[in-house]
Every structure is written in structure tokens, then in C-alpha cells.
A and B are shown apart, each in its own frame.
Chain A
Amino acid sequence: MSVGKPLPHDAAALHVTGAARYVDDIPTPADTLHLAFGLSSVARGSIREMDLAKVRSHPGVVAVLTAKDLPHANDVSPSVHDEPLLSDGAIHYKGQPIFCVAATSHLAARHAARRGQIDYDQIAPILTIDQALDADSRFEKGPLIWTKGDVEPAISAAPHQLSGSIEMGGQEHFYLEGQAALALPQEGGDMVVHASTQHPTEIQHKVAEALGVPMHAVRVETRRMGGGFGGKESQGNALAVATAIVAAQTGRPCKMRYDRDDDMIITGKRHDFRISYTVGFDDTGRITGVDFTQYARCGWAQDLSLPVADRAMLHADNAYDLPTCRITSHRLKTNTQSATAFRGFGGPQGMLGIERVMDDIARKLGKDPLDVRRVNYYAAMETKAEPGRGKRFGGTYSPKPAQTSNLTPYGMAVEDFILHEMTDALASSADYSARKAAIAQWNAENPVLKRGIALTPVKFGISFTLSHLNQAGALVHVYQDGSIHLNHGGTEMGQGLFQKVAQVAAARFGVSPETVKITATDTGKVPNTSATAASSGSDLNGMAVANACDTIRDRIASCVAEVQDVAAQDVLFDNGEVIAGNARLSFADAAMLAYTHRVSLSATGFYKTPDLAWDRIKGTGRPFFYFAQGAAVTEVVIDTLTGENRILRTDILHDAGASLNPALDIGQIEGGYVQGAGWLTTEELVWDDEGTLRTHAPSTYKIPACSDRPDVFNVSLWDAPNPAQTIYRSKAVGEPPFMLGMSAFFALADAASACGPHDPALMAPATAEAVLAAVTRAKG
């Protein structure tokens, strides 16, 4: 069967020959225009006067648009209509698009966009968390607060208490392919848009609003992205809307791609956070109660900040059963880029808070942090042996236990917790205890270089927390020659979704994956799709595709059964054949037979995740279908004189359920870990006091390079089926491995701790500078 095979990425052969097309590679008609935005040069205020004469007179310029030239909605927000495409006069951040130039070349548009003369009435910008708190500048009326039990007495009655705070920076997506869109005007006012987007339906929706047409007049196609990571969930709206508006006004095709600096200056990034905490615990390190306050810097527009901040709250527990808990979340509005989705979607920030708490408790008690982590783990899932079927648990396979504990802070029972076994296996394969002892010995003998090691777990909730988004559609055709056309609402950004879903389709028909043609995501084929986000791509679209395939397969089976005079349920589809009694037809012959018997060989499929119920204001319910889990051990070395550091070895054990494609899943785990470690080490965003993003190119913003990869990097899959009824019992794998990168951060903190008796209080990102500061603090 095609499912479970480590097949290469579906477009690998196209990528290695340069034949894979991204938006900027699509051949365009000769009269295509190129767009660029003129950007604000101040962070906050209003436009007093704007003179665009030099922009208009620049050679090659065909049109210049400001907000008043927009005939319909001036909005590119995915949430609350607070994000004008072009400034309506108010300036909210430095880099905000104010006007749009259309010219005959990309370069001409960019040159012209720099020639606007704009005077501003400036207001002191709100840039930092503290400034936003002082000004009470926030989204939603006040902080969102969720509680479990009576936290204050639980903390004060505990044998030990401690308090602390951790700052963590944001992160630039740095998808290698920058944002891009191409709009092709059609007859009758219709528009076709090719966009590098994780969310074609959102692009369709915003373009329709901007053109004042129904959604049926706009078709959006996305074959692939050169990376997304959440940065193309909403941040591509502006380019698609701008190209569509200019295309509608001029009747000419329009293309826009941000160059890298513009991309980094204009678009949103991961939210930076401060998390402060007070925790009570006993002599074993077992937590009795913890009180978190999370401060999220959301930037100027709401975008997806509320669900991001919610997910940070939802992961404040990570893998730990917190008997009592309070989580207070402040969503702060600042005059900076509008922070947006990024792999993990707030989860990483929430988890980093509780993991810091674990480290602090261990230091205070003089224990191995791993022991403190384990004593706080949720209880293991209830297992029930079924002869010949291995372990089954949770869900429909076992009775629900009476829940008095093992509840998340939001009241969801944790029924599928496997981190006890995973941690045992990883600690053993990575030789954690012996290496921990060896490192202590090594550190005692080495005054300048210090090593550190940490094992951290991840438990990540799978499902969109806006429950209605957990739906997907598919469209499948079988042609009379037996070839199969596959389409679904998910988008391909490199994660291998298309291949995994094609493997599902091939398995349903019992044919080889080459029989299945993977096609571009297209709002004209599958409507009302959700973003390819929340790691949900293969869970949702895999199921929808399976449903569509099964519809067609059952029709073929009925037809063949009738001809062969057997029962339809006895018709088998396997190994490229359709077997009915003594008759064996090739799949192609069966398709032809069905066609000549006038059987429809096209079907849609639909899927919605079951069993979700969630109240985000109260913070109670079941927001997730299941939890994906994993754990990583990282060993590092630091130079205590400079703060420079290296990752020496990483061991990962990650749970992808029964993997649809282990090679692609391991790729997600390796890439996710390195990206997560990047977030917490080298990737530092710096804004100056005027709100200028100073790190707006790879010269100053350092994502991990080839030499930053761990010297030893062992990655294994925890090969057990998902107890939840997902597609072939696989688990989502896009985001969860990102948070394995936390082990690098806590290994660095461990190394800094070896320098002295005091709390190193390492802040993220742990740049060389931050590590050196931590070493200094540890020495006291």
C-alpha cells in the first residue's frame, strides 16, 4: 500500500531541475505591470502632506494609487477590518504601505516607490510591552484570564514558592521565497490570482471585497510556496489585493513580489512575549499551583493575535498536570509590524514559560530538571490490551475514566499521554544520565568552556481553536484511462502535504502513487477552505480525499459487481487491479467499464473533525482532537569568555502516529527542530527607539546556517498509531517538532548554570551576548 512509504517529495524532480514554478516563475503576458509599495518612514502619527509627483513622473510608472483610489474595501485584515491596504491617513508602524506604484518593470516600480515626499505629524510610538501596558494599549478590553482551582492558597500552602520572568523574542519567517502574487484580469470583471499563500480562500475573500464582486468572480490558484511557516496565512493578502485592484483598473496583468528587505519591514512575525510566573511546589518538585501572566506584543493590527495568544495560554501547561493554575493573557497593541501566525502559533511561547518554571524549581531543589519534569507529567494514558491488536486506548476504544485529575487548565481530559514511555526510550537511547554525569565531570575540569544538556518534552494540541475551521474538502476525478486527478483545499509549502495526501488517494484505489495527478490548490475546485495551518493539513485533507475516493471506488465496485455478478462489498482494489470473484481487471479497465456503464467517476469529499467544543472566553472545553508529542535531548558547549556556543548533539524521539510518510515526517522534525533552536538562539529581531526594524535582511538577522546543525543528530519516530481516528491513524507533524528546539535553549541555560551558583536567567534568544550575560549572572 502506498501509505507509510518514505516516498520523495512529489515535486522533487522538478525542484532539482529548476522546473518547479513559483509565482514569480509563471510566464506572464507581455504587458504585465509590476507593483511596489511606498512605505511610511515613521512609526506613528498621521500624514500631513503627500506629494507623489516624482513617483508619477518616474520612467515606466503607469499608475500610482493611494487610499482614495480604492473603489471598495480598503482592508486586508483576516479578522476585524482594522488593516487598510494603503494608509487612510493614520500611520501605525514604520514600513506601513501608504501608496502603490504600478510600473513596467519590478525595478522601475521599486525605484519610483522611494520617491514619494511625505510629511507626517508624528506621535511618540508605543513600541515595547511596558510602553503598551503604561498606555493601556491592547486588543480586547482587558486581559483574558483562565483559572483552574484556587491557585493562590495552593501556592502559598506549598512547602516552596518561587517567582520569575522570561523574555522571549519574536521570529522572522524567512521563507526563502518572498511574498508574491500575480493577478490576471478576465472577461466580465472576473479575476484570477496566483498567490504564494497558505490560504487561497482568504485571498479570494479579500480580493472580492476589494473589487466589490462576489467571491464567485475571483479564482485563486496556489501550486506551491517556497516556504510558509505561518507567514503566508494572512500576510499575502496585501499583495494579492493590490495586484487585483490595479489589474481591474488598468485591464493589465499585475505582479508583485516583495524584495527581502521590504518583506521583512512590511510583514508580521512571531509574537515576542514576556511571561512572569509564581509557582508553589513540594520537596519533589511537584507543582501545587502556578500563576502565569503572559504579555504578547501584537503589533499594530489584530490579525491573528487573539488565537495566537489563546494558543499560548492553551500550552501554558505543556506536558504537566497543574493541580491549580491561573493564566492571564495581555494582548498588547504596539506600533510595530502586526505579529502573525508562525509555526506553533503561540504554543512555543506558552511552553517556554512552563519549561522555565521546571528549570527554576530544579535549581532551587538541587535536582535534575528532568526529574522535576517527570514528576509533573500528566498520567499515562489508560491502556487496554486487545489480543493481536496491540495497545488501544482513549477515544472509542476504552471507557472514559472518571476525571478528577489529568485535566488541562482548560478542563480537557488528557487521555492520550505517551510521554512517560517516550521519555524513557529517549533518555535511554541518548544515554542521558551518563552524559549528564560526564558533563558535570568535564565542567569541573574545564574553566573556560562549559557544557550543558537538557531533555524537554512537547505536547501540542491538534485542531484549529476556532472550531469551525476544522473542515476540509476534496475533489477527485477518475478518467476513463484510469488516471486520477486529485485536488483538495490544502496548500503545499514544502511540508510534503501533496505527496502524503496522494499516497492516501492511491491507497484508497489500490493503485500506485504515479497514477494520481497532484494538482494546484484552486478555489474554483474546492471552495471555502481553511488555511493550511495548525498542522492540520494532512489530517483534514487526507480524510476529505479518502471520502471522495471511497465514493468513486464504491461506484466502480457496484458497477463491476453487477457485471461480474458478485456482491459489491466483495470487490477488491489492490495492486492496480480490481478483483471481483474470478475476474481481475486492471484499474484502467474497471474505470473504462464504469464509464461505458454511465457511472459518475467524479466526487467531492468532505471532512469535519469530530468531538470539538470550546469556549475561548471561559477557557473551557475540548479545543483539540488529540495531542502530538515528542521529546528532545540537546547537548551544547559555551565559551564563558564570549558567550559563543555550539550544539554538539541532538537526539529526538517524535510521535507522528502511524506515519503516512516517515521520510517526509522526519524531514519536518529535523527542520522544525533547527528552526525552533534558531528562534531561541541566533534569531534576534531588533527595533530602535524610532520603531525601525534594524534587522531587515539576512546580513543582520541570522537564521541557522549549515554549520549550525548539530554535529550528531539522531531523529526517530515513535511508531504507534494515533488513538484518535485520524487518517490511517497518523498524527499532525508540521508544528510540534518546532518546540523540540527548547531543549537547545535549556541546554545553554544548563551550561551557564555550571559557571556559578546563581540563577543565570537566560533570556531568549540566547545569542552569544545573552549567554555571556547569563554566565555573568550565574557567577554573581
Chain B
Amino acid sequence: MTQVSMTVNGKPVSADAEGRTLLVDFLRNQLRLTGTHVGCDTSQCGACVVHVNGQAVKACTMFAAEAEGAEVRTIEGMANDDGSLGVIQQAFQDHHGLQCGFCTPGMVMSAAALLRDNPKPSEAEIREYLEGNICRCTGYHNIIKSILAASGQEVAIAAE
């Protein structure tokens, strides 16, 4: 066991973990931040995407110890300071960008990373960026719509 320290969602945290503990397990088991999901265990589905020092990372693809001293942001840290939903979160709700919700935290984290680097992405750019996030429910249509809306680009509202 080694002690691992990092800043998660703005708060300094420290916990004991085996050297082989994955960041996703550290977040979920040690810190009880269970919004970061394990979907495939093999860095392919994207349900565990978090931000480490501002970069979108699949949390099952790095050790907790590798994030020593890092600034980590998870889905639990995406709401506004007053607790209201962030713009991307609100867009996923308003545009039905989710069904079972299991992929949603990873989608929101990937979308946030995309929009930071590319505030007005085209639909094609969104699709390409989300290659590493899979969703089995929605067919992706409303996820793309949500991200377009979150970027301030006009989209037709579903079913109205």
C-alpha cells in the first residue's frame, strides 16, 4: 500500500492504495465517487472518462499512483458552484442525450474536453471525437444534438 494524494474536483484527497490500483477503482472505491463507471474494463467504452490535469483520460487506463499530485475532475465536479447543472449537463437532459445513463458521465466528460478545445465543433468533429465513447441505447443522435446545443449551436428540439 502506498499513499496517493491528488486534488479531485477541487478538494485535496489522500488515500491508501496498492500500486496496481487503477484510477477508476481509486475514485470509486476509496473516494466513493461512483459516477465514474466501469463499462468494459479495457479502455474502450469510455464510461470512465475523467479529466487529469485538464486532459480527458479513461480512468481504467492509468494507475491511481500516476495521478499523484494531479488535478482530477470527475462527473461529480461538473455542476455549477451553486449546484445547478452545468451547460453540458443541462443540454444532455434537455435534448434527451441519455437513456440508461451508464455511458452519460463519460460522454459529458468527453464533451467538456472537446468543447474546451473546440468551442463550436461541427457535427462531424463531434462524431470523430466521441469514437472512444460507446452508447448502446440512444443511437447517438441525441448525444450529438446535446453537444451541439451545449456549444450554443442551434438544434431542432426533439419531438415538439
Interface residues of chain A, those whose CB is within 8 Å of chain B, are 6, 8-9, 11-22, 24-25, 27, 173-178, 224-229, 259-261, 493-496, 662-667, 670-675, 697-699, 703-707, 709, 713, 715, 717
In the complex formed, the residue of A with least CB distance to B135 is A176
Distance from B43 Cβ to chain A, minimum over Cβ atoms (Å) = 9
- Say whether A664 contacts B138, CB under 8 Å: no
CB-CB contacts of B2-41 with A at 8 A, as 1s and 0s? 0000000000000000000000000010001111111111
Residues of A within 8 Å of B103, CB to CB, are 176
Distance from A696 Cβ to chain B, minimum over Cβ atoms (Å) = 10
- Say whether A21 contacts B34, CB under 8 Å: yes
In the complex formed, the residue of B with least CB distance to A676 is B139
Residues of A within 8 Å of B94, CB to CB, are 8
Q: Which parts of B128-160 form the interface with A (CB within 8 Å)?
A: 128, 130-131, 133-144, 158-160
In the complex formed, the residue of B with least CB distance to A713 is B141
- Say whether B44 contacts A670, CB under 8 Å: no
Also in contact, A260 and B42, with CB within 8 A (given A8-B93, A18-B36, A18-B74): yes
Additional 6 contacts, C-beta under 8 A, given A175-B136, A226-B37: A16-B104, A19-B76, A176-B47, A227-B102, A673-B139, A706-B131
Also in contact, A496 and B99, with CB within 8 A (given A18-B33, A670-B142, A671-B139): yes
* Residue from the list B40, B88, B127, B134 in contact with A697, Cβ < 8 A: B40
Cα distance A494–B139 in the bound complex, in angstroms: 13
- Say whether B101 contacts A494, CB under 8 Å: yes
How many residues of B sit at the interface, in one of the four size bands?
Answer: 35 or more
- Say whether B128 contacts A19, CB under 8 Å: no
- Say whether A17 contacts B85, CB under 8 Å: yes
Residues of B within 8 Å of A21, CB to CB, are 34
* Residue from the list A6, A259, A697, A713 in contact with B44, Cβ < 8 A: A697
- Say whether A225 contacts B39, CB under 8 Å: no
Inter-chain residue pair count (beta carbon < 8 A): 189
In the complex formed, the residue of B with least CB distance to A105 is B29
In the complex formed, the residue of A with least CB distance to B22 is A107
Distance from A468 Cβ to chain B, minimum over Cβ atoms (Å) = 29
- Say whether A22 contacts B127, CB under 8 Å: no
Residues of A within 8 Å of B100, CB to CB, are 175-177, 224-228, 493-494
B64 interface hit (Cβ, 8 Å)? no
Distance from A32 Cβ to chain B, minimum over Cβ atoms (Å) = 11
Distance from A765 Cβ to chain B, minimum over Cβ atoms (Å) = 16
Interface residues of chain B, those whose CB is within 8 Å of chain A, are 28, 32-42, 44-45, 47, 74-76, 78-79, 85, 88-90, 92-94, 96, 98-105, 108, 126-128, 130-131, 133-144, 158-160
In the complex formed, the residue of B with least CB distance to A663 is B159
- Say whether A671 contacts B137, CB under 8 Å: yes
Cα distance A13–B108 in the bound complex, in angstroms: 12
Residues of A within 8 Å of B102, CB to CB, are 22, 175-177, 226-227, 494
Residues of B within 8 Å of A674, CB to CB, are 138-140
Cα distance A673–B93 in the bound complex, in angstroms: 22
Residues of A within 8 Å of B142, CB to CB, are 667, 670
Residues of A within 8 Å of B158, CB to CB, are 6, 663, 666-667
Cα distance A53–B44 in the bound complex, in angstroms: 35
Interchain residue pairs A-B with the least CB separation, the first 8: A18-B35, A494-B100, A226-B102, A15-B101, A674-B139, A18-B75, A494-B99, A25-B34
Q: Quick one: which of A27, A175, A177 has the most chain B CB within 10 A?
A: A177
- Say whether A9 contacts B96, CB under 8 Å: yes
- Say whether B85 contacts A16, CB under 8 Å: yes
- Say whether B45 contacts A698, CB under 8 Å: yes
Residues of A within 8 Å of B93, CB to CB, are 8, 12-13, 16
Distance from A398 Cβ to chain B, minimum over Cβ atoms (Å) = 31
Residues of A within 8 Å of B136, CB to CB, are 173-176, 227, 229, 671, 675, 703
Q: Quick one: which of B39, B136, B140 has the most chain A CB within 10 A?
A: B136
- Say whether B40 contacts A707, CB under 8 Å: no
In the complex formed, the residue of A with least CB distance to B130 is A706
Cα distance A353–B108 in the bound complex, in angstroms: 41
Cα distance A350–B109 in the bound complex, in angstroms: 41
Cα distance A673–B138 in the bound complex, in angstroms: 9
- Say whether B99 contacts A16, CB under 8 Å: no
Distance from A664 Cβ to chain B, minimum over Cβ atoms (Å) = 7
In the complex formed, the residue of A with least CB distance to B104 is A15
- Say whether B127 contacts A707, CB under 8 Å: yes
